Structure 1
């Protein structure tokens, strides 16, 4: 009996204008994939040009740090607290000085880009924030995104078995995820996603037999960079290490480990420079660094409102994280196919282990299964943090899951290859992809707002995120909120 992930028997002939079912990529893929990448980059550059700088307290906190580094060489942001357009709630107080809650490494990299931008253009961050920030973000966000798309294209060309799978995976990553929403702004999630893609590609090559030292180094470097930008990605980093160790322990210690050590050590050094310890400021949440009175005014975190008050119970939070107003699947329906692919891949691997299989498994089957397990573990981690049930604050997506987008997009390939011959699958995939693209771009170029689905639910009165908190505080101007409208705080779900 055939492996359920393997596609039906196919002809090996290539060279037709569009080979739906050939292991050899068609000319349509080779040319069309380049057009897709160019179109994706063009749209994202246009979004970057349209984006307003310093739009949110989140990225103002980061840009204020960049400004402090380029103007004075330190991390203090209190000189800007009363300057119009520079105030932020994402700050802590230490020894009377204000600092960003954001980790230091990314602002340091941005500052390293900011200085030559100012030198070449004459635009200062404080005086010309719009053009200055756009140039910085072009190099910080879009160049890594272009590299990620190119690497994924190269991998799909070799390991996907049908053009349908190739176009579906690349099109999803290029246009249909929350990565697109956040590329025009300063954040850690998009660079985390790009690094994840650039780590996954050499890892898959290594898993399939490649033993080039540079691939081990690339896997180590970018896996560590993913962890530096998304600390819960430590599980991904450990998995990457395990894959390389299983493949070749000598090359792992000779190439992977040293390459991974560089960004990790720099992260620690930057954190010590900023905080005076190895602990980033955001890990002091709930202490006096977050909760303080300054100039007679309490910090926002002494009395958080709306979503930040974390009033949703476990089941309500799980629902909204998956199928609700911040839902992974309600906002990006094509991810339903990724879950399907994980399930099929896991079933195929269990069957193969128990009974053997007559046909070779899909090159990405084990990867898809591992991605499913990793994704469940990451979501479970955030579900345990009940004090932070705020959906990532005011943003258009569940932003702390964004870094997984490249893994999910690649996971689509085994399913698309397996079901390519089913007449109903291509229209279904196209429909889900179109809905996901529309959802991803509805709020462009400003990801620092509530998701379109949440706003729609609010307009219908089905949810109300302006409800007063139990202590009487009103919701903040970010509109962070609460339960269903008919579930008042004293009658909320558990």
Structure 2
């Protein structure tokens, strides 16, 4: 008797699952985030300056490191000692051009970092803890100790950026393809990994922005039509207060690191208020906490509520006087200043020197106090040399912290630091040129399309969990995308409207870094576009190409975020750039 054919052995349940399901979307998220963190950690573990003396990559991060070292090692915000430090070969490896100079509490002129002090103060507390545990100082170990602090500061922020952004994308779309593409873009498609191995304000701002977006989507989703059927405690006061408080702190933190982000702070407030009026208390309290810390640290550092970059001119008017011959100016100015009680009894004006600003002199007293002397513009509007030819002078408190002996900002600059004379050229290069948002990160080409699709109302989000409950509110998502569009256009217009000296693309940097904090928001704006375009094979191919080019740009900056973009360097090689 012939034996019946044997049936194939029954596969294990897991083996019978389609291959694509074995590697679930959530597993994909974990792998992407782990790889991104590993890349960042590897670069932090080997980061060093060009000379190999420190782990500082540019004047930008050295400025913050100087404040951190001065606070813990010297108990002061003044960085005079750090400016004098030399390595074994006599090189001043702590030198930074990102500094200001003004009169300190001791009545003498001191150097200070030009960066807002709140972030350096927080890092200084961490440095103090590491110092207590290891007995190492940044002055003695500017390489290994700096790497430890960078890892403790930047890796958690990069993790927060990745997790919060991926969480938001997951709630906005039910397309696994869109989720996978944007998780890869989050981890590798922006310039945030290069900025994760340098101490800067862009990674903190971007990570906090991602957290605010995630909190808003989570809170608005809880108040959707379907989610109200869940347990009543989900819309209670305490969760609402805690979430809105955290959102307020994160939103305020973004503005503390990127001042133009104040526009988005207001828009976030309106969005939270519209979806739940109870959030106004927590959100306002959170912003207030950051605002108090920002102004308090600024006062402790500079005895001023304004950050250093706001001190670029003259202070309050002290006195007016008749103009005199330049060689008699010092003696003549002393009298009006003494009459105005602006001088101490034994204080006199020793010299009046030319200022780097046209139409202004700098009067210096024997107590190292500075005053600004300008023409009375009401009577001398057209004078070629208004100070010397004016009939009257005005004397102000000195408030230009960027003008001092040896200041980089008062010298003839080169490269992008000269400022772009043409606004149209600046607009071109900042969008599709050598510092272009779209040319350096082509994935952002999907952002305007995402705005159009969302605003037109032709895209709906209907994401549900395993129990069938809706995870995101469609109206909230579209309102958020509309708010991001407004803030993006406002901030970009702000930078385009800056005077020539500030039209420098963010200085020597691997991208137009001033808009980098929008990265998590623009990734969310890509969701409608990718959902729509990925319906076709060619659409998916186009999206993959855009992502690949964006990752390519990111990879060109893995040595340091503080050099010109690869496009700028290539154009310079071709001779397309002036000077």
Q: Do the structures match in fold with TM over 0.5? A: yes
Partner secondary structure for residue 98 of structure 1? strand
TM-score, normalising length: structure 2:
0.71
Say whether the 8 Å CA contact 1:62–1:102 is kept in structure 2: yes
User: Which residue does 1:309 correspond to in 2?
Assistant: 418
Instruction: Choose 1 or 2 for highest CA Rg.
Output: 2
Partner secondary structure for residue 100 of structure 2? strand
Q: CA deviation digits over 1:457-481, x for unaligned, max 9? A: 00010113xx2xxxxxxxxxxxxxx
Unaligned runs of 5+ in 1: 1-14, 20-25, 352-359, 468-494
Say whether the 8 Å CA contact 1:16–1:27 is kept in structure 2: no
Partner secondary structure for residue 137 of structure 2? coil
User: Which residue does 2:490 correspond to in 1?
Assistant: 377
User: Which residue does 1:480 correspond to in 2?
Assistant: none
Which residue, 543, 568, 573 being the options, matches 1:429?
Answer: 543
Q: Distance in 2 between matches of 1:332 and 1:98?
A: 37
Partner secondary structure for residue 396 of structure 1? coil
Q: Distance in 2 between matches of 1:460 and 1:101?
A: 35
Q: Distance in 1 between matches of 2:272 and 2:221?
A: 11
Q: Please state how far the C-alpha of 1:327 moved relative to its aligned partner.
A: 0.6
Larger RCO (CA under 8 A, 6+ residues apart): 1
Say whether the 8 Å CA contact 1:78–1:97 is kept in structure 2: yes
* CA 1:409–1:350: 2 relative to 1, 3 Å: closer
User: Which residue does 2:464 correspond to in 1?
Assistant: none
Aligned-CA RMSD value: 2.1
Q: Please state how far the C-alpha of 1:82 moved relative to its aligned partner.
A: 2.8
Q: Distance in 2 between matches of 1:245 and 1:361?
A: 17
Q: Distance in 1 between matches of 2:118 and 2:95?
A: 21
Say whether the 8 Å CA contact 1:176–1:433 is kept in structure 2: yes
Q: Please state how far the C-alpha of 1:126 moved relative to its aligned partner.
A: 0.7
Say whether the 8 Å CA contact 2:194–2:561 is kept in structure 1: yes
User: Which residue does 1:41 correspond to in 2?
Assistant: 37
* 1:46-57 equivalent positions in 2, closer than 5 A: 46-52=42-48, 53-57=55-59
Q: Is it true that 1:462 corresponds to 2:470 in the alignment?
A: no
User: Which residue does 1:23 correspond to in 2?
Assistant: none
Say whether the 8 Å CA contact 2:481–2:525 is kept in structure 1: yes
Which structure features the higher share of strand residues?
A: 2
Say whether the 8 Å CA contact 1:317–1:389 is kept in structure 2: yes
Q: Is it true that 1:98 corresponds to 2:125 in the alignment?
A: no
Q: Is it true that 1:257 corresponds to 2:284 in the alignment?
A: yes
Say whether the 8 Å CA contact 1:151–1:198 is kept in structure 2: yes
Q: Is it true that 1:88 corresponds to 2:96 in the alignment?
A: yes
Q: Is it true that 1:245 corresponds to 2:273 in the alignment?
A: yes
Q: Distance in 1 between matches of 2:446 and 2:70?
A: 45
* CA 1:117–1:430: 2 relative to 1, 3 Å: same
Partner secondary structure for residue 278 of structure 2? helix
User: Which residue does 2:60 correspond to in 1?
Assistant: 58
Which structure features the higher share of helix residues?
A: 1
Partner secondary structure for residue 537 of structure 2? coil
Q: Is it true that 1:219 corresponds to 2:247 in the alignment?
A: yes
User: Which residue does 2:432 correspond to in 1?
Assistant: 323
Q: Please state how far the C-alpha of 1:363 moved relative to its aligned partner.
A: 6.8
Q: Distance in 2 between matches of 1:199 and 1:452?
A: 32
Which residue, 400, 403, 413 being the options, matches 1:289?
Answer: 400
Partner secondary structure for residue 536 of structure 2? coil
* 1:34-183 equivalent positions in 2, closer than 5 A: 34-52=30-48, 53-83=55-85, 84-95=92-103, 96-183=109-196
Say whether the 8 Å CA contact 1:244–1:252 is kept in structure 2: yes
Q: Distance in 1 between matches of 2:546 and 2:508?
A: 25
Q: Please state how far the C-alpha of 1:125 moved relative to its aligned partner.
A: 0.5
Q: Distance in 2 between matches of 1:382 and 1:281?
A: 19
Q: CA deviation digits over 1:432-452, x for unaligned, max 9? A: 111101111212131111111
Unaligned runs of 5+ in 2: 1-16, 49-54, 86-91, 104-108, 224-234, 315-398, 461-472
Q: Distance in 1 between matches of 2:112 and 2:424?
A: 35
Q: How many corresponding residue pairs?
A: 433
* CA 1:233–1:16: 2 relative to 1, 3 Å: farther
Say whether the 8 Å CA contact 1:271–1:278 is kept in structure 2: yes
Q: Please state how far the C-alpha of 1:185 moved relative to its aligned partner.
A: 0.2
Q: Distance in 2 between matches of 1:16 and 1:223?
A: 42
Q: Please state how far the C-alpha of 1:67 moved relative to its aligned partner.
A: 0.7
Greater mean deviation of Cα atoms: 257-266 or 322-331? 257-266
Partner secondary structure for residue 97 of structure 2? coil
Partner secondary structure for residue 234 of structure 1? helix
Q: Distance in 2 between matches of 1:101 and 1:131?
A: 25
Q: Please state how far the C-alpha of 1:145 moved relative to its aligned partner.
A: 1.5
* CA 1:448–1:238: 2 relative to 1, 3 Å: same
Say whether the 8 Å CA contact 2:162–2:187 is kept in structure 1: yes
